[in-house]
Homo-oligomer: A and B are copies of this chain.
Amino acid sequence: MSIAEQRTDSVSPGSTSMTATAKRQLVQDLTTLLGEQHVLHTPYDLALYEYDASIERGRPDVVVFPSTTQEVALIVKLANRYQIPVVPRGAGTGLSGGAIARSGGIIIVFTRMNRILDIDYENLRAVVQPGLVNLHLSNALTPQGFYYVPDPSSQRSCTLGGNVGENAGGPHTLLYGVTTNHVLGLEIVTTEGEIVDVGGWTYDSPGYDLTGLLIGSEGTLCIITKIIVRIVHLPETIKTLVAIFDNLDAASNTVSEIIASGVIPSAIEMMDQMILQAVEADTQAGYPMDAAAVLLIEAEGLYEAVEVQVRQVVSICEKHGARLVRIAADEAERQLLWAGRKNAFGAVGRISPEFYVQDGVVPRTQLPYVLRRVSEICQHYGLRVGNVFHAGDGNLHPLILFDSQIPGEIERVRLAGHEILQVCAEVGGSITGEHGVGLEKQAEMALIFSEADLRVMKQVRQACNPHQLFNPGKLFPLPGRCAEVRPA
C-alpha cells in the first residue's frame, strides 16, 4: 500500500458505525445536559468540523460546546456509555489533524470555556480555560507589563488548550522554549470522567511529571479543562532586524554562526524568495522580492544588552555577505515585519490554490544541506516549494504548493512530504517540531522510533486511555503499516 493510499484510507469522511437510533438517543442525552443550542448534529453543521488547517478530514457524529469542567466530565461519561470516541478541539487551526474525529464520536469544542480564571502577578502565574485564544491572554496581561511567551503564528485564533495538546511552538521558542516550558499544571478529565489536578504552580511538582507527559499528548490521554501558565514581564527593549541575502546557504550559515557565537536572539526566522514574494504582495512590509532569503532576527531584554546583541548580529550577517541589514525604526515597523511573517501561510494563497506545510527539525548545522534536498525532492515531483521557518531552532516549514484538482497532485505532495521527513530523520532530526503527529505523520513515527520505543508509549496510552476513548487511531503507526510506508 502506498503512503498516499494509506492516507486516503486512514480517514473516515463519514462517521462511526453508530446506529441512527443510538445517535438520536445520544443527541437527546447531550441536549438534556447542555441545552439544544450547544449540541450540533445535522450533516450541514457537522461539515464545518470535518477539517482543521491540515489536509486531513473526518466527520464526527456530534459536536458539543460545554461551559464547565463538570459538563466535560459528564460528556466523557456519556461517551463511555455509548462506547464512542471523544475528540477535544480548540480553534481547529492545527496542522496535523489532531482535532479531527477520525472515526466519528463526539467533538468537544472549548469555545465557551475561554475565560481567564486568575492572574497572580506577584507569583507570575495565570490560570486559564482551554478555549482561551492564545493572544487574548497576552492582551489581558500587557497593560500591567506582562505577557505569555509562546506565540504560534496562529496566535490570533488558536487556543491555549490546543497549544497544550500539541505542545505548540512559535518564533520565540529559540530563547524561551515551547509550550511545555510555560505550563506548570493542568486540570484534566480522565477517560473514566474523573476530574484530576496534575502539577501545580511550582517548577518541580512531586511524583510523576504528568503535566509534562500530557502536554503534547494530542488529546490521546485526557481532556484538558484548566491550565496554569507562567507569565513573564515584558522585555524592556525589543529590537528587530531584517538581513537580506542573495544566497540561501549564506543565510543558513549566518544562523549557525550567530548561535555558535553565544548570542541567543529571541527569534531567528527565515523566508526564501518564493515566500518573500507572496508575503510582500500581501502585507507590503518592505521585504525585498528579489532576495534569495531574508532573516528576521529579534533581540530582547535590557536596553544595554540588546544594543550589544544587535551589533554582534549585524556584524555576523555582514560577514556572511548580507546585502543589507535593516533595523526596524519603530514599533510600527516591527509589528509590520512580524505581520508579514505570521501571515506568510495565508499570503501563499495568492500564488497557489492550496499548500501543504511540512514541519521537520534538523540540527542547525545541517540547514544548507537539508534545504537543498527539500528543493531537489520537490523538483523531482514537479512541485513548487517555499520555505518560511524557525531557522534558529532548525525547525523547517517547507510549504509545498499544489492544486488538488490536478489528478495525482495530492499524492505527489504526500510523497514529497514523506521524503523530506526521511531526510530530516537521516541527519539526526525529527519528523515534527511543533505541529504534532495527529493523522498526518503516524507512519513517519517509525522513521525515528523503534518498535520498543513505541511500545513504551503505547503502554502509557494503555494506562491512561485503555479503551482508546480519547482521540483514537492517531499518533501511532497503524498496525501492519509501518514497514509499507515507502515512496512508490
Contacts and interface: CB of A to CB of B under 8 A. Distances in A.
A455 B188 CA distance: 13
A149 B140 CA distance: 33
Interface string A101-127: 000000000000000000011111000
A304 to B, nearest CB: 3
Given A123-B365, A262-B145, A437 B216 contact: no
Interface in A418-457: 428-434, 436-437, 441, 445, 448-450, 452-457
Interface centre among A201, A302, A436 (most CB of B within 10 A): A302
A449 B260 CA distance: 44
B123 A432 contact: no
Interface string A197-237: 11011111111111011011100010000000000010010
Contact of A177 (B203, B429, B441, B460): B203
A376 interface: no
A154 interface: no
Given A430-B200, A456-B196, A217 B206 contact: no
A122 B210 contact: no
A309 interface: yes
A301 interface: yes
A167 B204 contact: yes
A195 interface: yes
Interface string A79-93: 000000000000000
Nearest to A428: B201
A194 interface: yes
A95 interface: no
A216 B209 contact: yes
A213 B216 contact: no
A22 interface: no
Interface string A28-68: 00000000000000000000000000000000000000000
A169 interface: yes
A464 interface: yes
Contacts of A433: 202-204
A190 interface: yes
Contacts of A365: 122-123
Contact of A206 (B215, B260, B445): B445
A209 B220 CA distance: 13
A169 B204 contact: yes
Residue among A121, A173, A200 with the most chain B CB within 10 A?
A: A200
B210 A456 contact: yes
A361 interface: yes
A363 B206 contact: no
A62 B445 CA distance: 40
Contacts of A428: 201
Given A197-B450, A233-B262, A365-B123, A460 B213 contact: yes
B437 A206 contact: yes
A195 B445 contact: no
A429 B463 contact: no
Contact of A302 (B169, B196, B305): B305
A102 B353 CA distance: 65
A180 interface: yes
A69 interface: no
A64 to B, nearest CB: 23
Interface in A126-170: 145, 167, 169
A327 B236 CA distance: 24
A316 B298 CA distance: 30
A303 to B, nearest CB: 8
A196 B450 contact: yes
A131 to B, nearest CB: 23
Given A256-B122, A363-B122, A212 B180 contact: yes
What 6 A-B pairs are tightest by C-beta distance, nearest first?
A212-B212, A304-B304, A305-B305, A463-B463, A233-B262, A459-B463
Given A233-B262, A236-B262, 20 more contacts: A122-B365, A145-B262, A167-B204, A180-B209, A190-B456, A198-B453, A200-B448, A201-B363, A202-B361, A202-B429, A203-B393, A206-B431, A207-B449, A209-B216, A210-B213, A212-B215, A213-B213, A213-B460, A460-B463, A460-B464
Interface of A: 120-124, 145, 167, 169, 173, 177-178, 180-181, 190, 194-198, 200-210, 212-213, 215-217, 221, 233, 236, 256, 259-260, 262, 301-305, 307-309, 361, 363-365, 393-394, 428-434, 436-437, 441, 445, 448-450, 452-457, 459-464, 475-476
